[in-house]
Amino acid sequence: MSREAPTESRELVTERPAADDSLLEIAKLHYANCDFEIAIEKSRKAAEYFFAKKDISNYLKAQNLLLRMHAERDDQDEITALKEKLQDLVLKEGFELNSRTYYTLGICAFTKGQLELALEYFQKSLAIALAADNKEDMCFAINGVAIIYMRMGRYQDALKEIYNLQVFFQILDLPELKMSTQLLNGMILRRLGRTEEALQVYGDCYELLKKNKNLFMYIQLLFTSGMAYKDLGNLDMARFYLQLAKKTVDPRSLKRTAADIDKVLSELGVTTQSDFDLVFNATSNSLVERKKGRVDFKNQFILLDLLHLFLKKPGQVHSKESITEKLWNESYDPAVHDNKIYVTIKRLRQLIEPDIDKPRYIFRAKNGYYLNKETKIMLEQ
């Protein structure tokens, strides 16, 4: 569903605190830490603020960041909405067709799988940046062109663009773009069968990550390093890197990356979370449900204790007497505990059941409750 373009007046903007200028930088920090929920919220506010301020360059940077996150989360409706909004701004409101505008349109087309159109937009973005001698915009446009060439199988053309970028990186401080380019370079080298060279490039990327902390890039680097070792036939090292990436990734934010990691681990014979209905980590007391994703208990220790009870022995009926004793260390009294147990079971169901009206995990027996014995459970230590 499309969102309306921001309509906030310029006068209102002047009344805001100067801190609003830092919204985009705050969003970038949360993006780098893979806190996409917060990053999306901050990016939207930044986009509204910069649009009202008529700061088109930063407005487009905020939209670009949103597009990257929506693509990673596979939010196709959001991507379509952003593309329609930008097109409306261009067609109806005379939005400036500068290098960043075409770059943003290129990202929209790329995330929708429209490679030819994306290439056209990125090339227009580059032409305008060259004419304006805007080196930063040149770098982003060249990176976009290189990505499309790689996706089209035009590997030598992509490597030429990457070489051009490396020249720019000698004079421009763009660490995130540099790391992204290194990952792209390694991917192309792998596809050309030059995997040892790819690992050398990844090593350089690790060194850059030491200076510029970025969890998102770190996860991508772990994944692509694992893929390189898989290509070389070193399956133990491949499993090591991929499992490390798996433990680090939050599937709510990095939906596509998590799915890619699971797919490769499955090919390597490693059991993954996607094979289970419920995955419980005893160290962090966190639960992942197949459809709902990560479940946040927020220090609800009674619910955690009840969950532990069910997970230990699926199919075993836990009587009201047993539940009362183990949860509250009290003797069962129907007048006191029947409603208490009912409410606690309901709260747990609300957290873990995909459909509260049609529970698939927690069932009621004649004298208690039990976890469906068909539930596939993974207990992580």
On whether residue 136 sits in a domain, the answer given is: yes
Burial class (CB in 10 A: 0-12, 13-18, 19+), 276: middle
Residue 284 CB partners (closer than 8 Å, separation 6+): none
Judge if 265 and 359 occupy the same domain.
no
**Which range of residues forms the domain containing residue 100?**
10-232+255-270
On whether residue 14 sits in a domain, the answer given is: yes
On whether residue 46 sits in a domain, the answer given is: yes
Residue 19 CB partners (closer than 8 Å, separation 6+): none
Q: Could you tell me the CATH number of the domain that includes residue 93?
A: 1.25.40.10
Judge if 112 and 173 occupy the same domain.
yes
At 294 the three-state DSSP class reads: strand
Residue 356 CB partners (closer than 8 Å, separation 6+): 349, 350
Judge if 307 and 262 occupy the same domain.
no
Judge if 313 and 209 occupy the same domain.
no
On whether residue 240 sits in a domain, the answer given is: no
Output the six-digit token pair for 213.
């902390």
On whether residue 288 sits in a domain, the answer given is: no
Residues 126 and 137: their CA atoms lie apart, in Å, by 7
Q: Could you tell me the CATH number of the domain that includes residue 371?
A: 1.10.10.10
The pLDDT, as a whole number, for residue 9 is 35
Number of domains in the chain: 2
Q: pTM for the full model?
A: 0.68
The pLDDT, as a whole number, for residue 93 is 64
- Residues recorded for the chain: 381
Judge if 266 and 316 occupy the same domain.
no
The pLDDT, as a whole number, for residue 198 is 96
The pLDDT, as a whole number, for residue 319 is 94
On whether residue 245 sits in a domain, the answer given is: no
The pLDDT, as a whole number, for residue 347 is 93
The pLDDT, as a whole number, for residue 32 is 93
Judge if 91 and 208 occupy the same domain.
yes
On whether residue 371 sits in a domain, the answer given is: yes
pLDDT tens-digit profile, the chain (381 residues): 333 344 333 333 333 444 477 889 999 999 999 999 999 999 999 999 998 888 888 898 999 999 999 999 888 889 888 888 887 887 766 677 789 889 988 998 998 889 999 999 999 999 999 999 999 999 999 999 999 999 999 999 999 999 999 999 999 999 999 999 999 999 999 999 999 999 999 999 999 999 998 999 999 999 999 999 999 999 999 999 999 998 899 888 898 999 899 889 888 877 666 678 888 887 778 888 888 888 878 788 899 999 999 998 899 999 999 999 999 999 999 999 999 999 999 999 999 999 988 899 999 998 899 999 989 887 876
Judge if 45 and 156 occupy the same domain.
yes
Output the six-digit token pair for 17.
């605190």
What string of DSSP letters covers 194-262? Answer: -HHHHHHHHHHHHHHHHHS--HHHHHHHHHHHHHHHHHHT-HHHHHHHHHHHHHH--TTT-HHHHHHHH
On whether residue 54 sits in a domain, the answer given is: yes
Residue 41 backbone dihedrals phi, psi, to 5 degrees: -60, -45
Judge if 126 and 221 occupy the same domain.
yes
Judge if 313 and 186 occupy the same domain.
no
Judge if 101 and 199 occupy the same domain.
yes
132: enclosing H helix or E strand: helix 115-132
Judge if 164 and 60 occupy the same domain.
yes
Judge if 266 and 319 occupy the same domain.
no
* Measured CA distances, 335 to 267, 296, 330, 332, 339 (Å): 54, 31, 13, 9, 8
The pLDDT, as a whole number, for residue 4 is 39
